[in-house]
C-alpha cells in the first residue's frame, strides 16, 4: 500500500488524519479509540481558561471569550481545571505512541505561556492554540484583535519547548496576512479553520438556542480554498479542519497543500470507523492511481504551483455567476 506517512510541525504521523479537539478526545478512552482506529495524531479537547477561573458564571454578555466555553459549562468538557488537563495529557501519552497535541483556549493574555509550559512538561508532543475569539464590541478594530493574537502566539511560542500550531477562524479581512504574522510569531502550523459555536432562536420560547454543533461535508470547501491559496506562502504548515468526512476529501485537501487534515463531526456521525475508512480509502486511491507516496500528491493543486493563479481568486466565481463554469 502507498506510504501515507507525513510530517506535520516536526511530528511524524503514520497518516495525515488527525482526530480534532472535541469531546471525543477528552478522555483516555477516547484517545485509545482514536489511536486504535488508525489516527495519525490526536488533538486533545481544549482546556478553556474559563475552567481555571473560580468565577465561571458570568460568561454571557459582552464577552470576547470562546463560546465553546459555554458548551464546556453545559457539560461537554471537563469539570475541573489545569491539574486534570495535565493528567489527561499524561494518560494520553501512556495510552498510545500516536502524537498527542494539547489544545489551549484562553480569553485573557496572561495564562497561556505558563499553561503551555505545563502541558509540554506533561509530555504533549505539540500545542494547538485555539485562537477562537468572537469579538462582541463593535468599537474594537480588527487590527487590535489581530495584534493581540500575534502577541499571544509570540508569548507562547517563545517559551514552549514543543511545536505550536494556531487554530484560527475564517473570518478575517485577509486570512493570509494574519497567517503570515502568526507564523513569524512562532506558529509552525496553522489549523484552518476553527468552527464557532452556532446560535439559533427557539421561536416557541422566543429564546436563544444552540445551533447545530456538527458541520456538514460541504464545510471543507472553505479550508480547501485557503489552503490552496496559502500553501508555501505564509511560512507555516497547513492543517485542514472542517467537513472532512472521508478519504477523498482528505486527498483533495492534501492536493491543495494540506500537510494534515482533522476529523471531528464525521466521527460523531459515524463512529471511529470514519477514521479507519478514510485512511483505507486514501491508500486505495493512491494505489489505484500509481502514486507511491502521499507526499507526491501534496500541494499539486496549490496556487504556488499553478501557472494560472487567477483560478484561485475571482475567475471561478465570475464563471460560476455567468454560467460559464
Ligand X SMILES: Cc1cc2nc3c(=O)[nH]c(=O)nc-3n(C[C@H](O)[C@H](O)[C@H](O)COP(=O)(O)O)c2cc1C
Residues that bind ligand X (CB under 6 A): 20-23, 45-46, 68, 76, 103, 130, 167, 194-195, 213-215, 219, 241-244, 263-266
Which among 121, 109, 194, 105 has a CA at the least distance from the CA of 154?
109
Q: Whole-number minimum distance, CB 21 to ligand X, in Å?
A: 4
Nearer to ligand X, 20 or 164 (CB): 20
- Residue 21 vs 259, nearer CB to ligand X: 21
Facing residues of 8 across strands? 11
SS3 55: coil
Length of the chain: 325
Nearer to ligand X, 38 or 243 (CB): 243
Packed helices 247-256 and 273-288: angle between N→C axes, nearest 10 degrees: 60
Residue 144, C-alpha cell as written in the block: 487590535
Residue (155 or 249) nearer to ligand X, CB? 249
Question: Least distance from C-beta 228 to ligand X, angstroms?
Answer: 18
Contact 191, 167 (CB under 8 A): yes
| CB of 2 or CB of 18, closer to ligand X | 18
Provide, rounded to whole angstroms, the least separation between the CB of residue 92 and ligand X: 15
Consecutive H or E run containing 277: helix 273-288
Strands 47-48 and 199-202, sheet pairing:
unpaired
- Spatial distance between the Cα atoms of 43 and 85, rounded to a whole number of angstroms: 13
Give the shortest CB-169-to-ligand X separation in angstroms. 10
Least distance between ligand X and beta carbon 11 (Å): 18
Amino acid at each position: 500500500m502507498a506510504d501515507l506517512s507525513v510530517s506535520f510541525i516536526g511530528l511524524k504521523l503514520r497518516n495525515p488524519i488527525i482526530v480534532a479537539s472535541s469531546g471525543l478526545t477528552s478522555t483516555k478512552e477516547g484517545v485509545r479509540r482514536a489511536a486504535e482506529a488508525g489516527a495519525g495524531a490526536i488533538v486533545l479537547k481544549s482546556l478553556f481558561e474559563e475552567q481555571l477561573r473560580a468565577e465561571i458564571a458570568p460568561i454571557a454578555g459582552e464577552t470576547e471569550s470562546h463560546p465553546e466555553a459555554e458548551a464546556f459549562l453545559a457539560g461537554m468538557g471537563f469539570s475541573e481545571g489545569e491539574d486534570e488537563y495535565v493528567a489527561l495529557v499524561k494518560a494520553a501519552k501512556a495510552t498510545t505512541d500516536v502524537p498527542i497535541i494539547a489544545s489551549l483556549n484562553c480569553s485573557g493574555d496572561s495564562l497561556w505561556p505558563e499553561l503551555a509550559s505545563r502541558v509540554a512538561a506533561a509530555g504533549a508532543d505539540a500545542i494547538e492554540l485555539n485562537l477562537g475569539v468572537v469579538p462582541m464590541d463593535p468599537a474594537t478594530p480588527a487590527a487590535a484583535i489581530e495584534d493581540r493574537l500575534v502577541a499571544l502566539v509570540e508569548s507562547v511560542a517563545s517559551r514552549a519547548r514543543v511545536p505550536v500550531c494556531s487554530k484560527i477562524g475564517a473570518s478575517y479581512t485577509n486570512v493570509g496576512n494574519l497567517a503570515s504574522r502568526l507564523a513569524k510569531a512562532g506558529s509552525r502550523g496553522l489549523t484552518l479553520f476553527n468552527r464557532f459555536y452556532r446560535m439559533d432562536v427557539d421561536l416557541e420560547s422566543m429564546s436563544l438556542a444552540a445551533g447545530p454543533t456538527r458541520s456538514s461535508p460541504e464545510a471543507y470547501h472553505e479550508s480547501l480554498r485557503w489552503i490552496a491559496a496559502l500553501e508555501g506562502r505564509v511560512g507555516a504548515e497547513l492543517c485542514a479542519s472542517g467537513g472532512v468526512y472521508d478519504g477523498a476529501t482528505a486527498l483533495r485537501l492534501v492536493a491543495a497543500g494540506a500537510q494534515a487534515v482533522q476529523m471531528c463531526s464525521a466521527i460523531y456521525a459515524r463512529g471511529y470507523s470514519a477514521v479507519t475508512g478514510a485512511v483505507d480509502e486514501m491508500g486505495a486511491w493512491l494505489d489505484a492511481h500509481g502514486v507511491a507516496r502521499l507526499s507526491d500528491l501534496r500541494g499539486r493543486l496549490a496556487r504556488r504551483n499553478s501557472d494560472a493563479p487567477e483560478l484561485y481568486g475571482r475567475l471561478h466565481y465570475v464563471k460560476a455567476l455567468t454560467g460559464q463554469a
